[in-house]
Chains A and B, each alone.
Chain A
Amino acid sequence: MEQLAFYIFSAIMLGFAASVVVNRNPVTSALSLVVSFVGLAALFVMLNAYFIGIIQVLVYAGAVMVLFLFIIMLMDIKAEKRRELNLVAFGGGIAVTLGFVAQLATVLSKFTPGRAKMSPLANEGSDVKLVGHELFTNYNFHLQVIGVLLLVSTIGVVVLSRRATK
Chain B
Amino acid sequence: MVSLNEYLLVSGLLFAIGFAGVLLRRNIIVIFMCLEIMLSAANLSLVAFSRFNLSEAGVPNYNGQVLVFFIITVAAAEVALGLAIIVALFRARRTVHVEDLDSMKN
A residues with a Cβ closer than 8 A to B are 2-3, 6, 10, 13-14, 17-18, 20-21, 26, 29-30, 33, 36-37, 40, 43-44, 46-49, 51-52, 55-56, 59-60, 63-64, 67-68, 71-72, 74-75, 77, 80, 83, 86, 89-90, 92-94, 96-97, 100-101, 104-105, 108, 111, 113-123, 127, 130-131, 134-135, 138-139, 142, 146, 149-150, 153-154, 156-157, 160-161
A153 to B77, Cβ gap below 8 A? yes
Nearest chain B residue, comparing its CB with the CB of A103: B12
CA distance A55 to B68 in the complex (A): 10
Cβ contacts under 8 Å, B77 to chain A:
149-150, 153
A52-B68 contact in complex given A47-B48, A77-B29, A118-B52, C-beta closer than 8 Å: yes
| Best-buried of B8, B34, B66 by chain A (most CB within 10 Å) | B66
CA distance A131 to B50 in the complex (A): 12
Q: Which 5 A-B pairs have the closest CB atoms?
A: A122-B58, A93-B23, A114-B5, A21-B21, A153-B77
**Interface size range on B against A:** 35 or more
CA distance A117 to B18 in the complex (A): 28
Q: Select one of B37, B54, B57, B76 contacting A63, CB under 8 A.
A: B76
